[in-house]
Amino acid sequence: MLEVRNLHKRYSGIPAVDAVSFVARAGEVTGYLGANGSGKSTTMKMATGLIEPNAGEILFEGRRIKENLMAYRQRMGYVPEEPHLYTHLSGLEYLVMVAQLRNMDRTSANMRIHGLLRLFGIHGDRDVALSSYSKGMRQKILLSAALMHNPDVVLLDEPFSGLDVGSALILRSLIKELAARGKIVLFSSHELETVERVCSHVVILHRGKVVADDSIERLRVLMAAPTLEEIFSQLAVEQDSEAVSREIADLIRA
Amino acid sequence: MHSDWSQAKVQFGTLYRVFLLRVVDLEVLSAGGDPTRLIRQFVTIFTTVSFLLILPALVFLVFGGGMPMEAKWMYEHFLIETAMTVAGLVALLNWDAAFPDKRDILILGPLPVRTSTLFLAKVAALLVAPGLAAIALNIFVGVLWPLFFRSSSASFLGALRAWPAYWITFLLASAFSVFTILALQGLAANLLPRQFFLRVSGFLQAAVMSLLVSVYFLEPMLESPAALTSPQNQRLLEFLPSYWFLAVFNQLNGSAHPALAPLAKRGWISIAVAAFAATAALLLSYSRIMRRLVEEPDILPRAHSISWSPQWGNPLTQAITFFSLRTLLRSRQHRMMLGFYLGLGVSCAVGYANAYLGGFRSAGTTMSVSFLLVTIVTTILTVFSLRVVASLPISLSANWVIRITQIRPARDYQKAVRISWLALGLAPPLLLMAAILVAAYPWAPALGHFLVMLCLGILLVELCLYTFPKIPFTCSYLPGKAQIDFVFWACLMLIFRLLNEGAEIESRMLRHVLNCTGLILIAAIAAGAMRWLSESRASSTEDLLFEEEYSSEVTSLKLN
């Protein structure tokens, strides 16, 4: 179980994450939703240990991750929002480097890396520099790097970004499969339809605060809304989308 | 028509500023780093060099006395050659920015910007950096030295010609360097197949840099009428542009010697040809390459290369060593800087040995002091250059992967960095040296010198590690924080003097087995002590450093 307790993060005094608490359980996919700038990626980075919260704590299996960050990192896989990679390396070189940094056994690492590259359909381009890769291909490298050590906690920040339809369908099934195998999956996305299909439980963030934390079924009943999109619109969208679109069209004509 | 012109002017100004900033790779800078501070640092270096270069002129001014023609020509030639080399090196730093890249096409292509505006903005930005460097270098030199270069027979007004003559000549000479480099690059870009050009471009840049540096330090001294008119030197002079511009200066100054006339003619023709070739190459590149870039596929299939991965130790050491090696081999910026430090240092050492130590001849079984000096300098510089280059990051935004995979304490990373530096910074010069030692010297002094260099190398690696709680190429760069490289270059001549003393002592000690053993023991103890110090420091280091910050300054008001 990954538990986030009363997490706070401020940048220059402005709260990015404000008293966020939720629990992501093993065996289920926890959807983490929110508009741009709502604090999703900041929470994700705090859950990886990349940034320190100003207050609050994150617990993994009942222990603070800070107590033994290195052991936690060993069991955690992370796909960041932006595909920042060392682009002077090839896809294969990058994955081998990550496996070595994770102290993986050489034979097992090679088997997994080549297998993942084949299954993601980029084995033929494994020796090409990452600078030449498309966004979708980079995303596949990030997914391979996050999963190859068989982590217990999988943190996915916009993992569908740039993926083609086929790969997106594979990833959607993979996320469910990982949860079915007992892993903790925390999954942040803007694609509400995918979240609705994949997640059993969602946390909705608005301006850094949790405004909903429940199963999708219960939220539907509570909010009297048939879809996650409507639930999300009621909780986290302040603007009237149609009015804004009309204003934009008017503005560019002026 | 008028609005078109105004729009083009605004676009030119915007693009010019964008292209100019590309000279500095802003991504390497730390969050607290200021790009203007970095530029100021470079300008300060050139201005300081300019001040140092007027010191001999101040001596002449204070003690009076006329300067003989040969001395005049020697100083004129030295200053012109320095300006050409500096302008050339700065132009080489701009190598990647000279031609439009895919990013330019993708961002600017959909915008209503004329190719001519893009071209002019690029050219203006390309010329500003070497121009500024050349002006900073001549800021003091160009005021004081022309006073001594005036024609002795000239009247007062005639004597004033020396100043404009000097400034015009150094600008022309600098422009010649820049234009030649642009023309060469443009020619290669247009003649070679695109993918092949991209592959060889980095090597071409390194080759031009090596040529510039070695010509600067190893060019023969021919600054006398006899040498300039000697038939055996004529063929050589046809390939030495700095002498052409020496002749141009004397022609403009009104002090032309008949021996210089054909060289001056060559100078005028060459600047015209270089300017024409550079413009033509740039125009051709913009009209052809831009189209080709758009049509280029995003990803080209590549044949699987042979992967050779020797074992350097544990997986962490493997990861860090290969990451460092690949960064050095593939990042042009890092390769250039490593080559610059190494090339400049070794050329200085060879030049120093030739000028002051009488070359590399050895007497019987005795090793020449010159050889010892050059090998000492090479060992020091390879390790030192690697330390300097490793402090420049390759991609700060990609460092997250190293942070989230940190599953070992910081001291394990330092051990891995140590092995990677020994392998990349120390092994190559030692292997090269071993080959020369085996071929040229008897085994006893050769082995002695090799072991001393090994201990010196280990000592230096440990010294570098002592202040380096980082992974190479991953920590942000903070301009002005690490002053060691500037201090090093400022003290270069003094260091050579000291190293020369060291080489002489070593040469004497290598002649006797007992002394030689003693020397090796002392070097080994020093290396061991340094290793103990750096390991003690590493074991107390908790975190790896990824972001350089200015150290906090506490100012006491002394009120109590």
CA distances from B320 to A78, A96, B259, B312 (A): 21, 11, 58, 10
Q: How many percent of chain B have pLDDT more than 70?
A: 82
More confident residue, B528 or B108: B528
CA distances to B129, B162, B177 from B136, rounded to whole Å, are 11, 19, 17
3-class SS of residue B161 = coil
pLDDT of res. B518: 93
Residue B560's pLDDT band, with cuts at 50, 70 and 90, is very low
What pTM does this model have? Answer: 0.78
DSSP letter at B252 equals: H
Q: Using pLDDT thresholds of 50, 70 and 90, give the confidence band for residue B9.
A: confident
For the ranges B54-58, B175-179, B352-356, B385-389, which has the lowest average pLDDT? B352-356
Q: Residue A100: list chain B partners with CB under 8 A.
A: 315-316, 318-319
- At B276 the pLDDT is 94
- Closest-approach residue (CA) in chain B for A127: B304
**Would the pLDDT of B18 be above 70?**
yes
Average pLDDT over residues B328-347: 78
User: CA-to-CA distance for A187 and A205, rounded, in angstroms?
Assistant: 13
CA of B263 to nearest chain A CA: how many angstroms apart?
Answer: 46
| Structure confidence at residue B231 (pLDDT) | 79
Q: Long-range contacts of range B98-103, CB-CB < 8 Å, 24 or more positions apart?
A: B98/B122, B98/B126, B98/B182, B98/B185, B98/B186, B98/B282, B99/B185, B99/B186, B99/B189, B99/B282, B99/B285, B99/B286, B99/B289, B100/B285, B100/B286, B100/B289, B100/B290, B100/B293, B101/B293, B102/B293, B102/B296
SS3 per residue for chain A? CEEEEEEEEEECCEEEEEEEEEEECCCCEEEEEECCCCCHHHHHHHHHCCCCCCEEEEEECCEEHHHHHHHHHHCEEEECCCCCCCCCCEHHHHHHHHHHHCCCCHHHHHHHHHHHHHHCCCHHHCCCEHHHCCHHHHHHHHHHHHHCCCCCEEEEECCCCCCCHHHHHHHHHHHHHHHHCCCEEEEECCCHHHHHHHCCEEEEEECCEEEEEEEHHHHHHHHCCCCHHHHHHHHHCCCCHHHHHHHHHHHHHC
**For B546, which residue in chain A has the nearest alpha carbon?**
A50
Phi, psi of A201 (to 5 degrees): -145, 135
Is B452 exposed, middle or buried, given 0-12, 13-18 or 19+ CB atoms closer than 10 A? buried
Gap from B8 CA to chain A (nearest CA, Å): 23
With contacts defined as CB-CB under 8 Å, which chain B residues touch A78? 404
β-strand partners of A201: A30, A215
> Residue B29: pLDDT above 60?
no
B153 pLDDT band, cuts 50/70/90, is: low
- Nearest residue of A to residue B297 by CA position? A132
pLDDT value for B308: 62
The verdict on a CB contact (< 8 Å) between B315 and A103 is: yes
Task: Give the residue among B439, B440, B432 at the shortest CA–CA distance from B368.
Answer: B440
Q: Which of B305, B395, B408 sits opposite A87 (nearest CB)?
A: B395
d(CA A134, CA B308): 27
- What pLDDT is stored for residue B362 in this prediction? 57
For residue B110, CA distances in Å to A92, B6, B194, B287, B312 come to 34, 20, 23, 17, 49
What's the mean pLDDT in B200-205?
A: 82
Is B554 in the A-facing interface, judged by CB distances under 8 Å? no
Question: Distance from A103 to chain B by nearest Cα, in Å?
Answer: 6
Q: Does the structure show a pLDDT above 90 at B230? A: no
Q: Comparing C-alpha atoms, which of B53, B55, B85 is closest to residue B245?
A: B85
Please give the average per-residue pLDDT across B24-34, as a whole number: 53
**Chain A residues with CB inside 8 Å of B330's CB?**
88, 129
Mean local confidence (pLDDT), B510-514: 87
Alpha-carbon distance B409 to nearest alpha carbon in chain A (angstroms): 8
- How confident is residue B482, by pLDDT bands cut at 50, 70 and 90? low
User: CA nearest B318: which of A110, A140, A147?
Assistant: A110
Would you call A128 and B299 a contact, using CB atoms and an 8 Å cutoff?
A: yes
pLDDT of residue B443 exceeding 80, the answer is yes
A-chain residues near B394 (CB < 8 A): 86, 88
Tell me, what's the pLDDT at A113? 96
Find the residue in A nearest to B473 (Cα): A86
Q: Between A50, A88, A100, which is nearest B400 by CB?
A: A50
pLDDT band at B154 (very low <50, low <70, confident <90, very high): low
Dihedral-angle region of residue B197 (phi above 0 means left; psi in -120 to 50 means alpha; beta otherwise): alpha
The reply to whether residue B407 touches residue A86, judged by beta carbons under 8 angstroms, is: no
Is residue B165 within 8 A of residue B80, CB to CB? The reply is: no
A69 versus B305: the higher-pLDDT residue is A69
Residue B558 scores a pLDDT above 60? no
A193 touches chain B (CB under 8 A): no
| Identity at B203, one-letter amino acid code | F
More confident: A27 or B114: A27
pLDDT given for residue A26 in this prediction: 93
Q: Which residue of B has its CA nearest to A151?
A: B405
* Regions of chain A with pLDDT less than 70: none
Cβ-defined contact of B397 to A103 (cutoff 8 Å): no
- Tell me, what's the ipTM? 0.86
Tens of pLDDT along B389-433?
898 888 888 999 999 999 888 889 999 999 999 999 899 989 988
Instruction: Decide if pLDDT at B303 tops 60.
Output: no
Task: Please give the pLDDT value at position B292.
Answer: 72
The per-residue pLDDT of chain B, averaged, comes to 81
Chain A residues whose CB is inside 8 A of the B398 CB are 84-87
